[in-house]
Each structure stands twice: as C-alpha cells, then as structure tokens.
Amino acid sequence: MRQHHAKCLLVLVIALACPRLGDAQTSSPATQPASRPATAPTSRPGTQPASRPAVKIDEAAKPLLERIRAAYTNEQPRRLVAHITGIFDVAGRSRNYQLEVESLTNGAGRFIHRVRDVGTVAQNAEKLILYDLKRNSFGTLKTPDRRVSASDLPEAVVEILIDENPALLLCLSTEPDKALLLGAMRAHVDAGRLIITSENEKRTLDLDTNGLIRRMEINYTPLLASRGTANVKSALVTLEYAPPELPAAVADAEFEFVPPETASEFPLEPPPAVTAVERVRKRLRATTGPTSGPTSGPATMPSPPATSD
C-alpha cells in the first residue's frame, strides 16, 4: 500500500470555493501537511490517453470551432480579465462565491495567470512556476516557453486553466480548438451557443463576433447525478471575460514571478494519471463546515485524498 501525494498546488476554482456536495471525506484535512498541494495534474505532456475515443463534433459546431482556432492562433499579446461566479445549492446546502482572474500572455507561450487571493501561475523563459498564496508554497516544472500542440500542453496547465481561464489556455497552443476539447466527448450547438460535454460536466460558451470566448458556463449537474446526489437545485460556475487588451508588445520581465522567501517548495513528480471523475471530485472536495450563505472567496484549501493500491 502506498499513498499518492498530490503534486500540483493551485487548484481549480471549484475546488477552492465550493462545498463538498455530498462527497464522502476520505482523509482529514487536519492530518495533511500544510504545504501539500491540492490537486494532481502531472508534468507529463498530454491529457488525452491514446485509448480515449475521438470527440464527436456535430456539423453545426465545426464553424464555431474554426472561428475559435482563427481567433486564438495568432501570436497576439493579450491581457485577459475575467470574473467567476459559483452558485451551488445541493442537498440542502448552498454556497455562492466570486473570484477575479487576471492574466497576460505574449502570444508565443509565456504567460502569467493570477487569481486574486488564491495564487499565481507563471511561465517564463526557463520554467513554469505555480504559487499557492493560501499555503505559501510553490512548485516548478521545466516546460517549453512556446506554443505547443493540444496534446503536448502540460497537464498541470490544462488542469488549472481549462475551467479557470480557458481563453489563456487557447493562447498557449498551436491548436486552440483542440485544446478547448481536451477531455470532451461531444461538441454541438444549441441556440447559437457552443456546447461541450464531457463525462461529468457541460460547458456552454458564448463567442463574440471575432470568435473570442466572452462567457462560459460550467454545469456540474451530470457529475452529481452520476453520484446519486439528490435535490440538486444549482451546480453552476459562470466565467465572464472583459474585452481583451491587445498590447503591441510585452516585456519579458512581465512573466517573471518570484515566490516569497518564506514560501516552501515541493517537488512536482509525475503521479499516476488522473481520470475525469477524479479530477472533478478533487475540485468539489473543499470546505467541510457549514456552507450556507454567500462567500467572497475560498475558506480553505482542500487536502488531497489518500489513494492505495
């Protein structure tokens, strides 16, 4: 028997701010080291196993995906600002939260991504740095500072950005449309909106006239239904982008981030592959106390479960 320690430190927004929503606790937060990171993406490239079936793309969705590809393929520096709202009312417990996201990319692979009061992810010329403000801890990965194919995007980056800043994720790949579909089963259109469904969630995207993501809704009802959770009134996260700023150029210094001297460092080793179910469960594994009423942000970082084999 061995325990797999989670390796990545900045969890997705859902894991930070949502109630546990009926997930049985597998390990006590009090027993986890304070510096332990919260999720388990890997440093290995690729997020889709070779055995995963191809995404089913309806004909009506193909023009929208082409617009997305055209909008995000060019190496245009961008400054992105997003507002995230989570509304959960499940099994008689509720939590509302709001988070602010700011990011900058040079359009060619370097970027910095900040979630206010949560943490920072930065890719400079040498490495990727992930800093968790709540735990004051950080980790680094040796990753390319250039655009890569969708299958070569570092899993740690995909884990963080796919729900937290998808527009930035698309700016890091030579295949933005394929990056958006990582982990998906189907893409179709309903009332002019692009719908991307996976095993446990449904994403609904509104695009502007240029093909840029303006708004994305993530509905976690499929996950809760698959677990037999009753009385699901709402399980929705909404991300809204302001119009992007398009600077003519960005200095390399903008992507330099140095963790505080007091921060503890942990190694990012490739753990076992994380399934879609495990990934979403980790997002939902958060606070354990009363969850009624609104909150302006996460109360605590969740601790990873112990896994044995």
β-strand partners of 245: 79
4 domain residue, yes or no? no
Residue 289 included in any domain: no
**Mean pLDDT lowest among 88-97, 122-131, 174-183:** 88-97
Q: Report the mean per-residue pLDDT for the chain.
A: 77
Domain, as residue range, for 146: 13-22+36-47+54-284
Q: Indicate whether 307 belongs to any domain.
A: no
Please indicate, yes or no, if residue 291 is contained in any of the structural domains. no
Q: Is residue 7 included in any domain, yes or no? A: no
pLDDT tens-digit readout, 84-107: 999 999 888 899 999 999 999 999
Q: What is the pLDDT of residues 3-57, one digit of tens each?
A: 222 223 233 333 333 434 334 333 333 323 333 233 333 333 344 444 567 999 9
What pLDDT score does 66 carry?
A: 98
Q: Considering the domain boundaries, does residue 155 fall inside one?
A: yes
- Alpha helices by DSSP H, listed for 142-198, are 155-164, 166-170, 176-180
Which H/E stretch holds residue 97? Answer: strand 93-105
pLDDT, position 37 = 32
- CATH label of the domain that carries residue 252: 2.50.20.10
Backbone angles phi, psi at 177, to 5 degrees: -65, -40
Which of 200, 204, 203 has its CA nearest to residue 223?
Answer: 200
Is residue 219 in a domain? yes
Question: For 256-278, what is each residue's pLDDT tens digit?
Answer: 999 999 999 987 655 444 444 45
How far apart CA 13 and CA 196 sit, in angstroms, is: 19
Gap between the Cα atoms of 162 and 85, Å rounded: 16
Reply yes or no on whether the pLDDT at 129 is more than 50: yes
Number of H helices, E strands in the chain: 7, 13
Look at the chain and report how many structural domains it folds into. 1
For residue 239, being part of any structural domain is answered with yes
pTM value is 0.75
pLDDT higher than threshold 60 for residue 281: no
CB 176 within 8 A of CB 207: no
Higher pLDDT, 225 or 123: 123
